[in-house]
Structure formats: C-alpha cells, structure tokens
Structure 1
Amino acid sequence: MRILLLVLLLTLSGFAGARVEYKEFANAEQQQAYDDLISELRCLVCQNQTIADSNADLAKDLRRQVYEMLQQGKTKQDIADFMTQRYGDFVLYNPPFKAKTGLLWIGPFMFLAIGLIAVFVFVRRNKTRAVAPISAERQQKIQSLLEKGDKS
C-alpha cells in the first residue's frame, strides 16, 4: 500500500512545477490589449506558435515585455511597432503588405494561376491533337480480325 501511495505521489509531483502566469491589469482594456498582442505576436523560437501558446524562454520574455510596456501606458500599435522594428515583420502573424512581404501575399495566387494555366494548356493540347486517319489496308485487316473473333 505504501509503495502504491509513493508511486501515486511521485506521478502527481510532476504537476507541482507547472506555473500559471498571472498578470494584474489596471482595467479591462489593458487586459484585452495584452491578450490581443500575445495572440498576434509569433514566437521566434517555435515559429508556428504565438507567444501566448509557447513556453519558450524568449516567449516568456516577450510576454513580460508586452506587459511592462502596457503598464507604461504604451498602445497596442506602439508595442507592435517596437516588436517589428526589433524583430522584423516575421514577428507578426499577419504581416503588412510591403515589397518585402509581397511574395508571401501574392505567391499562393501566382502558383494557383500558373497551375490553372498549365491544366488549361494540357487539356487543350490533348483535345486538339489530330487523330490520324486509318488507311484502307489497315481497316480491312481490323475487319478481318473482328470477323475471325466472331467465328470462334
């Protein structure tokens, strides 16, 4: 019984190290701005997660930095501008349309258009391919083979 209890306690002790981040805000608008920002900023370590979802040390630092900047009275736009100035447009999940990010926005449509054009050309080429007429000699040979098949 003691061994079972020890195993149970050791199994559950893994959860003891898990922490919940708690931030105190002056008002609901700050809380909403914080939630929006950490959901819009990409974790530069994980790259497919927001800093809200990531447990990487850099994501924790960025969450802390966003919190501190909000406490200093900075706006969402100020914080987003600071992050993009420091880390580039990649830090945003929805990067703005610029010359640098144009390929990200236009690329999928270009590939779709190229694919549709390729399919159209392929289908059209196969449709217009002329069928060579069968010579009279060959037609007689086919007819004789068909007649042999009917007799057997």
Structure 2
Amino acid sequence: MRSIIVVFMLFLSLAANATIDTYEFKDDANRERFQQLTNELRCPKCQNQNLAGSNSPIASDLRREIHRMVEEGKQNTEITDYMVARYGEFVLYRPRMSASTWILWYGPFVLVAVGFAVVLLITRKRKRVNEKQEDSLNDKDKTRLATLLDKGKAE
C-alpha cells in the first residue's frame, strides 16, 4: 500500500513541475489569434486534444511555431495551410470541404435518409401484407365467419 502512495506522489510531483509555455505578443490581437488557432488545431499525437490543452512535446513545438508565424504577421489561413501541409487534414477539428471529406459532411444525412426510406418501405410492405390477409377470405369463408360471429353474439 505504501508503494502505491509513493508512486502516486511521484506522479503528482511530475505534473506539478510541468512547464507552462509563456509567449510575448506585440498586441492583444495577436494573442487572441494565437489562442484561437491553438484551440482550433488538433494535436497530432494526442488525437482528440487541441494544441492549447496538450502537454506533448510536439504540441509545444507547434505552439512555438504558431507563435512565430503570428508574430511574423502571417494570416490564419496561411498558418492553417502550413499545419495541414505538414500533418494532413487530421489537425483540423472541422475538415475542409473537398472530395475526400464529402462523406464526413454528407454521410450522416445520407444515412438518415436511407434509414427513413427503409422504415417507410417496411411499413408499406406490412400494410400490403395485412390487406392481403384480410382479402384472402373467399365468399364462403366470409359468410361462415359472419354466421359464427352472429351466433357468438346471440349467446
């Protein structure tokens, strides 16, 4: 039990000593752009964490690179294009509209439409089967059924 506590304390001390990146900006607009970009771009290593929240070394390098580019006056699209060129569309939380991402953008709508069509076809088929079963009685069976129902009411 003591060894578990020692290991736990060791991990806590490592987390407490983690470095926090601090960057100097020319103005508040650059700071806001930097924060926006690091929140919108995904860490290539962490997979589902943005650059601002990731502690991985590659995220630190990318934040430093974004800071440099923001301070050089590059536009957000230039910075995003640079990241996509190096790491692919994966770094974008909202992939761009292209032939390779159509399934991401339109796939859910297609699946909902297909599901609706399947449900519609199944209900129509069941309705036809039920109507067919009702019509399957010939005249003789209908009169016999009516007689039995009348007899059941009389009792």
Residue identity in the other structure for 1:100: S
Q: Which amino acid aligns with 1:118?
A: V
The CA RMSD measured in Å over matched residues stands at 2.7
Q: TM-score, normalising length from structure 2?
A: 0.75
Structure 1 unaligned spans of 5+: 1-6
CA distance in 2, matches of 1:53, 1:30: 19
Distance 1:13 1:36 in 2: 30
CA distance in 2, matches of 1:109, 1:116: 11
- How many aligned residue pairs are there? 137
Q: Please report the TM-score for the alignment, with normalisation by the length of structure 1.
A: 0.76
Q: Which has the higher helix share?
A: 2
Measure, in 2, the Cα distance between the counterparts of 1:105 and 1:96.
Answer: 9
Unaligned runs of 5+ in 2: 1-5
* Residue number among 133, 137, 141 corresponding to 1:133 in the alignment: 137
- Is the aligned partner of 1:105 residue 2:105? yes
Percent of aligned positions that are identical: 37
Q: 1:36 to 1:138 in 2, by over 3 A?
A: farther
State the 1:120 CA deviation.
Answer: 0.6
How far off is 1:68 after superposition? Answer: 1.5
**How far did 1:15 drift?**
5.2
CA shift in 2, pair 1:101/1:61, >3 Å: same
* Paired position in structure 1 for 2:60: 60
Give the drift of 1:127. Answer: 1.2
